[in-house]
Structure 1
Amino acid sequence: MMARAGVIVIGLCLVLYFVLTGQWAFLYLTSGDPVGIAMGAALIVLPLIGAWALVREVQFGVQAERLGSKLDAEGGMPAAETELSPNGRIARADAEPLVQRYAAEAEAASDDWRARYRLGVVQDAAGRRKDARASIREAIRLAKLTS
């Protein structure tokens, strides 16, 4: 729920940014000065890049949440096998063997989105966010192929 609230706040900030930069872009574009026109064009392009990035992140979040809910309903989410820290992370000593085990399972079932998603969950709990996002993106891709 906190993640959704964060996305909403960021989205609202982006809309405010669009309005303000749109005003500045208009002023620069109508200035007649070549440097001002270039700055106005940049003020139009940069928010579009930001909007694209926000849409991609929201799509990832929605798709990941949908797969996570489906896997949880099937009873396929990984169980907490070790003691977790207060922030939900796996202790460093326990993290690597767990990640390796789930990685081996994901490799053995390379076309199963469930195994890849479980790997992503364990990687996230181990503090390996970049790897976790890559694994969950792969799970999303595999789920689309099997649909």
Structure 2
Amino acid sequence: MRAKITYAITAAVLVVYFVLVGSRGVLLLRHGTVLTVTFGVAVLILPVIGLWFLWKNTRFVQKANALAAELDGEGGLPVDELVRTAGGRIDRDSADAVFAKRRAETEDSPEDWRCWFRLAVAYHDARDTPRARKAMQRAIALHEGKPVSV
């Protein structure tokens, strides 16, 4: 729940920022000189890119959460079997061992979105965020029946 609140607050702050930047871009456009119009257009592109990025990330999180809910309903969410340090951090060797198990599971069933979901969690636990995101994207694509590129 805390992560959802943090995400919502961050998204709201970003939207306010995009509105402020956009208003400055409009002011530059209204000034009417070649230089200010050029800068105005450039400034207006930033909020558009930012809103697109925010939208894509929000959709990704919603789809990943839907997969997690479905997997939880099936009783297939990965069990937290990781060893943690006294400070609560995940032990690297423990994360590597779980990752190896999840990778083997995914290699045995490469078309099963559930395996890719669990592999994404293992990547995340191993602190490999880019690969975790790619694995989750693959899980989403497989779940939606979309073609998956290799």
**Would the TM-score normalized by the shorter structure come out above 0.5?**
yes
Q: 1:61 to 1:88 in 2, by over 3 A?
A: farther
Match of 1:128 in 2: 128
Q: Gapped runs of 5+ residues in structure 1?
A: none
Asked if the contact 1:89/1:127 (under 8 Å) is kept, the reply is no
Secondary structure of the residue aligned to 2:145 is: helix
SS in 2 for 1:30: helix
Instruction: Please give the alpha-carbon distance, in whole angstroms, between the structure 2 residues aligned to 1:113 and 1:87.
Output: 33
The DSSP-based 3-state class of the residue aligned with 2:116 is helix
SS of equivalent to 2:75: coil
TM-score (norm 1): 0.89
Q: Which runs of 4+ in 1 moved over 2 A?
A: 84-90
Give the TM-score taking structure 2 as reference length.
0.88
Does 2:102 match 1:112? no
Q: Amino acid of the residue matched to residue 51 of structure 2?
A: A
Contact 1:111 1:142 in 2 (8 A): yes
Distance 1:46 1:82, change over 3 A: closer
Q: After TM superposition, give the deviation of residue 88 of structure 1 in Å.
A: 6.1
Measured after TM superposition, the shift of residue 19 of structure 1 is 2.5
- Cα RMSD of the aligned pairs, angstroms, is 1.8
Aligned length: 146
> How far does residue 73 in structure 1 lie from its aligned partner after superposition?
1.6
CA distance in 2: counterparts of 1:57 and 1:19, whole angstroms? 19
C-alpha displacement at 1:86, in angstroms?
A: 6.5
